Amino acid sequence: MKFQKPPGTQDVLPGSAELWQFVEQTARELCRRYHYREIRTPMFEATELFQRGVGETTDIVEKEMYTFEDRGGRSMTLRPEGTAGVVRAYVENKLYGEPDIAKLYYIGPMFRYERAQAGRYRQFHQFGVEAIGSADPALDAEVIALGYSFYKAVGLKDVAVEINSVGTPQVRAAFREKLLGFLAPMKESLCKDCQSRMERNPLRVLDCKVDQAKFEGAPSILDSLDEECSAHFARVRECLDAMKIPYSINPRLVRGLDYYTHTAFEYKAQGIGSIDTVGGGGRYNGLVADIGGEDRPGVGLGIGLERTLLLLEKQGAGPALGSAVDVYFIAMGERAEREAPGIVQRLREAGLAVERDYQGRKTKAQFKAADRIGARFAAILGDEELDKREIALKDLASQEQRNVPLAGLADSIRNLITTEKGIVTNDA
Ligand code: ATP
Ligand code: MG
């Protein structure tokens, strides 16, 4: 029998795993600078958490969740996004009891039953942050800036920030009527999705890719904002200006999730077929109370890591990955073979990355292997060296070679690596 990975999932193999680590480390480093601390929540939660927290009329809850009954008869769902679980943990662990606001981040897999294609998977990964406990518009700007800095730090070019205000639930209710008035005459000409969204969540009609052109003259939610909403939005823009974060205002941006209030934003980039959104987020002032906590405002973002990596590859950007192996150890002869495990172990304990042969290959083949894996040095131990308690060290880049004492070998190698000089022979 032959097994294959489930549709919409990916194996991250050595070679690209290093890129993943780079992207994740970049995220962690940024969170350190902005002072967001990591939170790890379960990969599955009670189904009801997402029904409430994400919203019944969203694509996610309507058709994308991996829901199953556990052996105790409870309905569980693999998390389709990160915010609901983080907010649940925030409430359950009473993080609002702290004098400071909670600034949290997560990196991990999410699950949605979608039609798989490039940039759209059934298991994918998000880096996200949530800042809970303040309604300050400067915090919205901080979160937007953090996401923007992330794309920049990993090396992506041409990521555009779009922002909008979706107001408060009251503002949205009034806008909904206006919008329905605009949409009603064209209802028959709209796609099936739009027609059903008109009934359940009309704002999301504006999100439709198929019918976009028909919405040229649609009313703008920005004209429906009350004074408080307008002031909040103006302050967010002021902060972004001060931070020199470039952005444009997109009054049609509503985002898929139901829980947003005030600021909504997306990061856009071209290059993955028809997909142009690489991340997004917004403010969610009602969410904490909605899922049973004390009423606390929050703002957050979610960034798709597969899409980030796809674009990095497409743009030929990303880091140059250095050699992973410092030393390839080559034993010549039986005596050297007997000493090999001990020497290799000591070098590793001293912090060096060391590889050796386990396939009984000839010396020449071992040198080839050392080149293939990009080792910095070959350390060659033969009878002659052993007699003098020395070892031959060959710089595989410059091909220069010299003997160094076995005692203090790790230090000798480290010195050569940190001075970046490689081996300089006496007559050089
Ligand atoms: P889309 O409109 O592309 O379906 P979305 O609105 O469902 O996106 P969000 O729920 O806002 O996406 O998730 C934030 C980010 O997570 C997205 O911008 C994207 O980068 C990533 N993402 C969402 N769904 C997937 C998926 N199925 N596969 C890969 N990445 C995804
Ligand atoms: Mg989606």
Query: Which tens digit of pLDDT belongs to each residue from 110-157?
Result: 999 999 999 999 999 999 999 999 999 999 999 999 999 999 999 999
Looking from the CA of residue 255, the nearest atom of ligand 1 is 6
Half-sphere exposure of 64 (CA within 13 A, CB side): 26
Q: Which residue has the tokens 């899409």?
A: 307
Task: Give the span between the Cα atoms of 161 and 246, in whole angstroms.
Answer: 7
Residue 375 pLDDT greater than 90, yes or no: yes
| Helix intervals (H) in 71-121 | 83-92
Which ligand lies nearest to the CA atom of residue 63 in the structure? 2
Looking at residue 424, its pLDDT comes to: 54
Enumerate residues lining ligand 1, CB below 6 A. 81, 112, 114, 119-121, 124, 126, 256, 275, 277-280, 302, 304, 306-307
Q: How far apart are the CA of 249 and the centre of ligand 1, in A?
A: 20
Give me ligand 1 centre to Cα 202, in Å.
Answer: 20
Separation of 386 CA from ligand 1 center, angstroms?
A: 60
pLDDT band for 363, please (50, 70, 90 cuts). Answer: very high
Which residues touch 177 (CB under 8 Å, ≥6 apart)? none
pLDDT in the model for residue 346: 97
Helices of type H across 126-268: 137-154, 169-183, 192-200, 227-242
CATH number given to 327-416 = 3.40.50.800
pLDDT at 421 exceeding the cut of 60: no
**280 SS3 class:** strand
Distances (CA, A) of 428 to 215, 400, 401, 423, 424: 73, 10, 12, 10, 6
Which of 173-187, 229-243, 255-269, 328-342 shows the lowest per-residue confidence on average (mean pLDDT)? 255-269
Distance 226 CA to ligand 1 centre (A): 30
Is the pLDDT confidence value at 106 over 50?
yes
Domain spans in the chain, listed from the N-terminal domain onward: 17-167+225-315, 327-416
User: Of ligand 1's atoms, which has the minimum distance to the CA of residue 275?
Assistant: 3
Q: Compute the average pLDDT of residues 288-298.
A: 94
Residue with the nearest Cα to atom 29 of ligand 1? Answer: 120
Longest Cα–Cα distance in the chain: 94
Which ligand 1 atom is at minimum distance from the Cα of 266? 18
DSSP state of 63: I
Give Cα separations from 285 to 169, 297, 298 (angstroms).
10, 4, 6
Angle at 171 between CA 166 and CA 175, to 5 degrees: 85
For residues 324 and 374, what is the distance between their CA atoms, to the nearest angstrom?
Answer: 7
Q: Closest ligand 1 atom, CA of 303?
A: 15
CA–centroid distance, residue 403 to ligand 2 (Å): 61
Q: Please tell me what DSSP assigns to residue 210.
A: S
Q: What is the CA radius of gyration of the chain?
A: 28
Closest approach atom of ligand 1 to CA 122 = 27
In whole numbers, what is the pLDDT of the chain averaged over residues?
Answer: 94
Select the more confidently predicted residue: 319 or 234: 234
Is domain 17-167+225-315 classified as CATH 3.30.930.10? yes
Mutate to test the pocket of ligand 1, among 54, 307, 310 (most ligand atoms within 8 A of CB): 307
* pLDDT tens-digit map of 151-191: 999 999 999 999 999 999 899 989 999 999 999 999 999 99
To test the pocket of ligand 1, the residue of 60, 120, 255 to mutate (highest count of ligand atoms within 8 Å of its CB) is 120
Q: Is the CA virtual torsion 56, 84, 46, 124 positive or negative?
A: positive
Please tell me the predicted confidence (pLDDT) of residue 427.
46
Rounded Cα–Cα distance for residues 426 and 250 (Å): 66
Nearest of 82, 106, 118 to residue 287 by alpha carbon:
82
Structure confidence at residue 428 (pLDDT): 39
φ and ψ of 263, to 5 deg: -70, 130
User: What number does the ligand 1 atom closest to the CA of 116 have?
Assistant: 27
Specify the residue with its C-alpha closest to ligand 1, atom 17: 279
Cα angle for residues 114, 40, 59 (degrees, 5° grid): 25
Going by C-alpha positions, the residue among 366, 358, 357, 419 that lies closest to residue 396 is: 366
| CA 206/CA 208 separation, integer angstroms | 5
Give the residue, 101 or 259, on which the prediction is more confident. Answer: 101
Six token digits for residue 207: 């999100």
Q: What is the pLDDT of residue 93?
A: 96
Helix, coil or strand: residue 330: strand
Q: Give the model's confidence band at 425: pLDDT under 50 very low, under 70 low, under 90 confident, else very high.
A: low
β-strands 377-381, 327-331 pairing: parallel
User: Reduced to 3 states, what is the DSSP secondary structure of residue 322?
Assistant: coil
Q: How far is the CA of 58 from the centre of ligand 1 (A)?
A: 13
Q: Report the C-alpha gap between 62 and 66 in whole angstroms.
A: 11
pLDDT score recorded for residue 200: 85
